[in-house]
Every structure is written in structure tokens, then in C-alpha cells.
Amino acid sequence: MNENSGGLRVWHIVLLSVILGLLILFYKGLYGNPSFIPPVLVGTPAPRFEAPDLYKKERVTLDQFRGKVVVLNFWSSWCQECKLEHESLQSLNRQYGQNAQFVLLGVDYQDKEDLAKDYLQQYGNNFQHIIDTQGRISIDYGVYGVPETFVIDQSGIIRHKEIGPLVGETYIKFTREVIEPLLKEKS
Amino acid sequence: MIIEIGHLAVIAALVLAILGIIAPLVGIRKEKGVWIEIGRQAVTVNFVLLSIGMAAMIYSYITQDYSVKYVWATSNSKLPFFYKVAGLWGGHEGSLLLWSWILSFYCMAAVWIHWKTQPVVIPYLIAMESLILSGFLLLILFLSNPFERIFPAPSDGRDLNPLLQDPAMVGHPPMLYLGYVGLSIPFCFAMAALFSGRLGEEWIKVTQRWTLLAWMALTTGILMGGYWAYYELGWGGYWGWDPVENAAFMPWLIATAFLHSVMVQETRKMFKVWNLFLIILAFSLSLIGTFLVRSGVLSSVHSFAADPGRGVFILGFLSSMLLLSFGTLIFRSAKLKSLVLMDSMVSRESVFLFNNLFFLVAMITVFIGTLYPLLTEALKLKKVSVGPPYYNAVFMPVALGLIFLMGVGPYISWRKVTRDNLRSHFVIPLLIAGSGLVLSYIGGIHDLYALSGLTVVIFALTSILLDFSKVSRFWARQRKINPFQGFYAAFRQNPRRYAGILTHIGVLVMVVGIIFSTIYQTEKVVVLKPGESVTLNAFRIELIRLYEAVGPNWVAQEGAFNLYENNILISEMRPQKRIYTVTQTPTTETALHQIYMGHVFLTIPEVAPDGSWARVRALYNPLVLWVWYGGGIMVLGGLLNIFRPRRKEVYSFHSSSSPSAAEPISPLPQLSSKRVSPEP
């Protein structure tokens, strides 16, 4: 649309740079692995965060759970698979919620507050949720898509990462091979 | 043996394709017709050769020749016959062969149709199409050869990916390719125009129907893909902003922009460089899409195995095409200053300008979203996915803007709008849209997107209907016929306009479907034991029993459900959780019940191994069928437009160059100028 002359040079350069930039990006992309998700943080200290609770006005920090096993579940109201695992999460909390050593914390990711509340209203809720408004927590944890679940041990080290919904076999394995051993570790 | 014949045919096709690049160029240089004639024959023979290649592949599928590696990889003796043929495009190698075959067909058709009327540009077209074809054939023969054998021959194949074992597999990929590849014809005409220096309106007129054809195929392909994803992937939506969906959507957006902006060049001789840019961009996006899908650069449900060697080749080819085409455009653009400037910011020209801007913004949005993971990886940022909220946030306003323009564009005058034009066309639609807004709100629609969406839809629709009634009455009076015949007369007078508006109506229907099926979708995910039920609006869904079911190449756990509406049994539904025996891949088979142009949608994503319970996902998607009905109307509009009767008058006023003569492109401005005078 730059037909009224004048700026011709500028759009030439912009167009060429966009094309070249893209080609370089594609070239680099060839040698990357799209499905490779950096083995973020398993075995390293969990990034600290402070975020508002979805319902109450208070701020929640990771530090306040020191000494507990923290299950951090990233979810969204627009995420289909989250709905599938939601029932499992609730039963996880029914099973371990009484244990003083266990905390299940939902992190609402790239979402709108009212949509998130509607979601919980609809599918039920028995655990605490925080909102990741700026996406900071998700970025710190390298969340690639939802649902993703992190397990942080009593001394604040990430011990496990689960990509995808916790349902069926995955859920059983998760409780048996991750949660149970961790809870036994220091008690 | 047969497969070797196919292989040889494709090798020969490569040789001829290279000849097809050189011969016409030599012919132009030396001004010898015989060289150009050689190019022309090469194009025809190439289609025959590639057809032999395709036939050889299909033959190997039907005869279950698993010594052919590609057949082994994408077929199985237990596979239904249907899918044995469709297996050809079930993987990387075969899809490329199909791509090339379609390309050679299009090229042949274009050469046959335009040989006599476009003698100057056809040689360039042949050279350009042959260049694209040789790129693909090189890729096929050296890096992804479907004719390769394996020894010793396996006794049975690895089976076609179960997600692809669906009737839609027969139509969806070929349709998309018809669209992608179809864009190569206008692209090559544009390139030919650039090379030959014949940069007038000719190439636009010649390629208008070709672009429509490609657009229509692309639309159909995308719609089929949406419906396929809807029932096969089992998540209840038809659009997921998956990189591969986006790869098809981006050329569609630009092709749509192009179809609109060419009208400005035809009537007002403006946007010349812009149109060249758009069509080059549209085809480039097809190629980029192919690159993204075929090289495994992005992860997606559609991706096939990644192979960097292949990727480097496609990228090399893509780079040369991009640099050649955009480079030529930049080089030639100095010639293309248009003499006509915009007269007013409120005119049909400016509506087209905004239309194009919106489409471009939409495409850039999708582009950035799609490539974002690649960008973060290249810049060593942490990986973050781009979810639907990103797309929706940008897309919604753009879509609303485009629908609004639909109600304005066709009814506003060229050059400069008059107060009368505005008053006679837009006061009533605005009033009706306003009352529609109030009524919808009272009627219980409180979502902001839904409200604004419905309001602009009502505005656009009223504009269209108002205009229909005006022209019908005008022609009825003119010819003393009834208004229905009057409408037909109006259509006959300008079929292109009314076919286009039919497409707009399709879009409006689709938008209503999208609004209701996404915003007013209700959903429940519950665990049910036989005898238990879940309620969803007025529906109650009861699980009767769970049992095993067996198919030709799969076993499944199936649930029998009763569907009640207000406690009256209306249907039985049987969703499945299926396991394909050869690959051991699980799939979710959806059960759908169609009601009030919407769907009750049922899946069982998880079933207890002992069959004692199932996790049930139930959805009610109101008006979801409008999405495809609307799509159907869009395609119908496209068809009517392509096969519209030729009108003699079109040519008479196109040849005239004075801007005022451009007015009668639609009878409407003429009509409205008559209507401005007080009615008798």
C-alpha cells in the first residue's frame, strides 16, 4: 500500500529483513527439537514465587510451605485436558489433604479470573489456587502447556514433573511412586 | 515391477520439469516459438508421467506390496480398502507426490486455458511452475522417495495412523492441497507479469477465478479438517490454533484479502504493488506451511517424523522462492506507481484498505503465535506455549471489524461517499442492529463477545437484506416483473457481486454458530457407573452398560448411553475408547446426537479396566452445525462465482480507463444515484 512513492526504500528494507530473519529462524529451528522440553529444574531448587490467591485477598508464597511436599498444578479454564484430570486432583487432595506434610496448590495460567472461578464452580474444588497474572511463575517453571504438575519436596527441591493430565495409570503411578515415597522421606 | 515404472516416470518428470524451466526462457530470449512449444508439451507430458507415478503407488497399496517401504509404513492388510488408497497421503512421501501431481495438473490446465489468450505471459508461467515442480520432484526423488523398496519384504504393514483412519482422510488432505497448490497459478501469473513487464490489470482478471478456486478448496479443506478434529480428537471443539491448522489458515486469510483488494485494482487501478505482494505472500505462506509441517520444526498433532536433511532442502527451496519472488517485486516496484490516489477516507476504497489491514493483522497474529515457540527457542528463552487466549484476544476485535465492513463495503460508493448514500443505506441497519443489541441483552445474552458479535452480524445482515430488497424492487419496476424475478435479474446482471454476497451470508451464519457453540457450550466431566446419569441443561445422559466391541483392526470399550430430554428418551449414544491392534494406539470415538442444529457430544476418555465405571465427558454445543452450514454457503458462493456466466458488459467497461467509468462494476452505485433523486 506504499504506492504513493516516497517510502519505497523503507518497505524494501523492512520486507527483506523480515524474510531474512524468518529464514534464519527457520534454519535454527531445524536443529532445535520442538518436542524437547528442557528438563527444567528437576533436582534443582524450586523457583520462589509470590502470587495472589484466587479467592482471598492474601498473597501466597512458596516459602510458607517450606517443610511440606508441595504439588504445584498449572491449569487453565480453557484447557481441555485439565478438565479430565480435575477429578483426580480432587481425589488427590481428599487422600492426602489431611496430611500436615502435604499441600496441593493450583496455579491458574493465562486465564481470566471470572472464567477460572466459573470453572471451579462447575467442576468442583477442594484445594487452594493462585493466579499467575503476568505469567511469571509459568515462565520461571518453564511451563510449556497445561496441565503440568510439579512436585516440590520438603526442602524446596523439585523432584518430579508431570506433563499432561494425571488420569488413570498416570495418576496411580504418581501417587504410588512420587507422593508416597516423598511423604515417607522425612517423617 | 509396477513400482519401478512409477519411479522411472517420476524421474522422467523431473528431467522434463527442468526442461520446462529452460525451454520457455530460451524461447523468450531467442524469440523462437518452438522452444516455448517444447515447454508447453513438457507440461502436458509431466502430468501424464506423474499420473503414472500416482497410479503405481495406488496399485502397490491395493495389491498390498509391502516391499515398498512407504506402503509398508502407512498400510496394513487388515485396513479397510478405503484407507488403503488414502494411505497414499497418510505420510510425508506420498503427500509430496500428491502435491506435485496436483501442481502438474493445475499447470497443464492453466496452459491449456490461457495458451491462446495470454501468449506473452504463458512462457514465464510455464518456467515458474516448472521451477516449483522441479523443487518438489528433487525432494521426492532424493530425500523422501515413496518408491523405495525394502528387502526382505515384510509380511505385513505397520498400519495407517489410527487418527487418520476416518472418511475425512479421503477428502481433507487433497482438498487442502488443491487450495495450497491452486494458489501457485495466480502466483505464477503475478511473477510472469513481473518478469514480462505487463503489469496492468490483465493478470488480475485472468487469475480471479483461479484464486477463487484455490480459495474455495482451501475453505472446504479447512472446514473438513475442523469437523474431523471435532469428532475424532474428542475434545469437542473444531479449532485449536494448532500450528498445522494455522498453516492452512494463514494462506486462506491472505487469499481472502487478495480476492477483495483485486476489486480495487480492477475498478480504480490502485493497490497494484499491494496485490502483487499479497499473492506472493499467499503462495509463500503455502510453502512456509509445507515447510513447517514437513520439516518437524514445530510440534503438532499433524507432524510426521522430523528429518533435518529434508528440512534443510525444503528450507533452501523456500529461501530461493521467497527471495526470487519478493526480490523481483522489490526490483520492479518502481514501475508500479499508481496514478490514482485516494479521494476520501470514507469510500469503498478505504473500506477495502481496512479490510486488507484487518486480514493482514489477523495473519500476522497467527504467524507470531505459531512461530513463538521457535522464536523463544532460538533466542534461548524459556519455552512458553501460546494458548487460545492470545489468539482470541487479538482475533475477536479483528473479526468484529471485518463483519462490520461486510455490512458497509458493498454499499458504500467508490471515491467519495455522499450523505445520501450513508443515509439511504446505513441508518436502518444501524437502528435494527441497535434494537437487536437491546433484545439480545433482554433475551439473556450477557457475554460481551456474544453481544458485540451478534450486533455486527445483525447490522451486516440487515444491510445485505435491505440492499436485496432495493435491487429486487428496482429491477421489478424496470422490467415490470415481480420482485423475486427482479432479484434474479439483479443476480444475472452482476453475478459476481451477488455470489460474493452469498459468501458473506455464509460467514455470518458461521459466526453465529461459532458464538453459540463456544460461548454457550455447556460441559460436564464426571465418573459414571452403569445406572448413573449426568444432567446437562434439559438433557439427562444415563450410562446403561459398558462392554467390549471389536472392529476390523481395533478393539474397543464401548458405552451404551440413553439420552433423555426433559426425561423423555430421545436417543441412544455409543461412544468408544478404541485401541488399534497393530500400533496399539488408543483413540476416542465420539458419539454425536444432532438436535436443534446443535450437538450433544459424548466421549469416554477413560474406562476402568474391569468395565465398572467410565469417565464421561458430555457437551452440549448449541448451533454448532451453523459453523458448517455457514461454511457450505461460503463454498456455494465461491462456486457460483467461479462458474458465473460471462457477461459481455464486463469487458466493455473494464477496457475504459477513466475512473468514472469504473462505477458500473456493480449496478448499485448507478442504482443509488437514481434513487437519490426523489422517488416518483
Question: Does the pLDDT at position B357 exceed 50?
Answer: yes
- The confidence band for B513, taking pLDDT boundaries of 50, 70 and 90, is very high
- The confidence band for B303, taking pLDDT boundaries of 50, 70 and 90, is very low
Q: How far is A34 from chain B (nearest CA, A)?
A: 5
What is the pLDDT at residue B301? 44
For the segment B451-479, the average pLDDT, to the nearest whole number, is 92
**Pairing of the two strands A148-152 and A128-132:** unpaired
CA distances from A3 to B92, B276, B517 (A): 42, 12, 43
Q: How far is A186 from chain B (nearest CA, A)?
A: 33
Q: How far is B489 from chain A (nearest CA, A)?
A: 36
Share of chain A above pLDDT 70, in %: 88
For residue B613, the chain A residue with the least C-alpha distance is A168
What is the pLDDT at residue B648? 47
Q: Where does residue A98 rank: exposed (0-12), middle (13-18), buried (19+ CB within 10 A)?
A: exposed
How does the average pLDDT of chain A come out, rounded? 83
For residue B298, the chain A residue with the least C-alpha distance is A34
| pLDDT tens digits, one per residue of B64-83 | 999 999 999 888 888 888 88
Q: Would you call B525 an interface residue with chain A, using a CB distance cutoff of 8 Å?
A: yes
Cα separation, A92 vs A99, in Å, equals 11
- The confidence band for B307, taking pLDDT boundaries of 50, 70 and 90, is low
Do A23 and B236 lie within an 8 Å CB cutoff? Answer: no
The answer to whether the complex's ipTM is over 0.90 is no
For the segment B113-124, the average pLDDT, to the nearest whole number, is 91
- A36 against A28, higher pLDDT: A28
- The confidence band for B542, taking pLDDT boundaries of 50, 70 and 90, is very high
Do B298 and A135 lie within an 8 Å CB cutoff? Answer: no
Residue whose cell numbers read 452505485 = B669
* Chain A / chain B CB contacts < 8 angstroms: 129
- The confidence band for A163, taking pLDDT boundaries of 50, 70 and 90, is confident
**Pairing of the two strands A128-132 and A102-109:** parallel
Do A111 and B326 lie within an 8 Å CB cutoff? Answer: no
Report which of B85, B159, B38 is spatially closest to residue B587, judged by C-alpha positions. B159
Cα separation, B536 vs A122, in Å, equals 12
What is the pLDDT at residue B363? 95
Do B605 and A84 lie within an 8 Å CB cutoff? Answer: yes
- The confidence band for B660, taking pLDDT boundaries of 50, 70 and 90, is very low
| pLDDT tens digits, one per residue of B30-58 | 988 899 999 999 999 999 999 999 999 99
Contacts of A139 in chain B (CB under 8 A): 382, 384
Residue B410 DSSP symbol: G
| pLDDT tens digits, one per residue of B568-587 | 999 999 999 988 888 777 88
Cα separation, B243 vs B294, in Å, equals 12
The minimal CB distance from B385 to the residues A33, A144, A168 is found for A144
Do A1 and B295 lie within an 8 Å CB cutoff? Answer: no
What is the pLDDT at residue A32? 62
Least confident of A48-57, B288-297, B513-522: B288-297
Q: Would you call B390 an interface residue with chain A, using a CB distance cutoff of 8 Å?
A: yes
Question: Does the pLDDT at position A79 exceed 70?
Answer: yes
Q: How far is B7 from chain A (nearest CA, A)?
A: 29
Q: How far is B585 from chain A (nearest CA, A)?
A: 16
Q: Would you call B611 an interface residue with chain A, using a CB distance cutoff of 8 Å?
A: no
| Contact by Cβ (8 Å): B626, B516 | yes
What is the pLDDT at residue B9? 97
| Contact by Cβ (8 Å): B172, B241 | no
- The confidence band for A168, taking pLDDT boundaries of 50, 70 and 90, is confident
Q: How far is B319 from chain A (nearest CA, A)?
A: 7
Do A34 and B523 lie within an 8 Å CB cutoff? Answer: no
Cα separation, B211 vs B216, in Å, equals 8
Mapped onto helix, strand or coil, the DSSP state of residue A78 is coil
For residue A1, the chain B residue with the least C-alpha distance is B274
What is the pLDDT at residue B669? 36
Helices (H) and strands (E) in chain A, counts: 6, 7
Cα separation, B147 vs B131, in Å, equals 22
Share of chain A above pLDDT 90, in %: 23
Contacts of A29 in chain B (CB under 8 A): 297-298, 374, 377-378
Least confident of A167-176, B51-60, B298-307, B452-461: B298-307
Contacts of B272 in chain A (CB under 8 A): 3
- B299 against B149, higher pLDDT: B149
How does the average pLDDT of chain B come out, rounded? 86
Please count the CA atoms within 13 angstroms of the CA of A123 that sit on its side-chain side: 30
Question: Does the pLDDT at position B672 exceed 50?
Answer: no
- The confidence band for B385, taking pLDDT boundaries of 50, 70 and 90, is low
Q: Would you call B315 an interface residue with chain A, using a CB distance cutoff of 8 Å?
A: yes
- The confidence band for A41, taking pLDDT boundaries of 50, 70 and 90, is low
Contacts of B274 in chain A (CB under 8 A): 1, 3
What is the pLDDT at residue B299? 55
- The confidence band for B676, taking pLDDT boundaries of 50, 70 and 90, is very low
- The confidence band for A24, taking pLDDT boundaries of 50, 70 and 90, is confident
Cα separation, A131 vs A54, in Å, equals 6
What is the pLDDT at residue B652? 32
Do B235 and A80 lie within an 8 Å CB cutoff? Answer: yes
Mapped onto helix, strand or coil, the DSSP state of residue B600 is strand
SS (H, E, C) B380-396: CCCCCCCCHHHHHHHHH
Q: Would you call B270 an interface residue with chain A, using a CB distance cutoff of 8 Å?
A: yes
Do B605 and A167 lie within an 8 Å CB cutoff? Answer: yes
The minimal CB distance from B295 to the residues A8, A30, A79 is found for A30
Do B299 and A138 lie within an 8 Å CB cutoff? Answer: no
Choose, out of B242, B322, B610, the residue to mutate when testing the contact with A (most A CBs < 10 Å).
B322
Residue B441 DSSP symbol: H
For the segment B157-179, the average pLDDT, to the nearest whole number, is 86
What is the pLDDT at residue B168? 84
Cα separation, A145 vs A165, in Å, equals 11
List phi, psi (to 5°) of B302. Answer: -90, -15
For the segment A29-48, the average pLDDT, to the nearest whole number, is 66
What is the pLDDT at residue A81? 78
Choose, out of B238, B268, B333, the residue to mutate when testing the contact with A (most A CBs < 10 Å).
B333
Choose, out of B385, B394, B446, the residue to mutate when testing the contact with A (most A CBs < 10 Å).
B385
Contacts of A112 in chain B (CB under 8 A): 389
Q: How far is B240 from chain A (nearest CA, A)?
A: 10
Share of chain B above pLDDT 70, in %: 90
Do A143 and B385 lie within an 8 Å CB cutoff? Answer: yes
Q: How far is A88 from chain B (nearest CA, A)?
A: 10
Cα separation, B624 vs A86, in Å, equals 26
What is the pLDDT at residue B673? 34
Q: Would you call B280 an interface residue with chain A, using a CB distance cutoff of 8 Å?
A: no
Cα separation, B567 vs B569, in Å, equals 6
Q: Which three cell numbers stand for residue B626?
A: 451453523
| pLDDT tens digits, one per residue of B213-249 | 999 999 999 999 999 888 887 777 888 888 888 899 9
Q: How far is B363 from chain A (nearest CA, A)?
A: 15
| pLDDT tens digits, one per residue of B319-354 | 999 999 999 998 887 766 655 666 677 788 889 999
CA distances from A29 to B306, B313, B379, B440 (A): 11, 14, 11, 48
The minimal CB distance from B326 to the residues A19, A139, A140 is found for A19
Cα separation, A183 vs A100, in Å, equals 10
Do A29 and B337 lie within an 8 Å CB cutoff? Answer: no
Q: How far is B377 from chain A (nearest CA, A)?
A: 7
Contacts of B319 in chain A (CB under 8 A): 23
Q: How far is B26 from chain A (nearest CA, A)?
A: 30
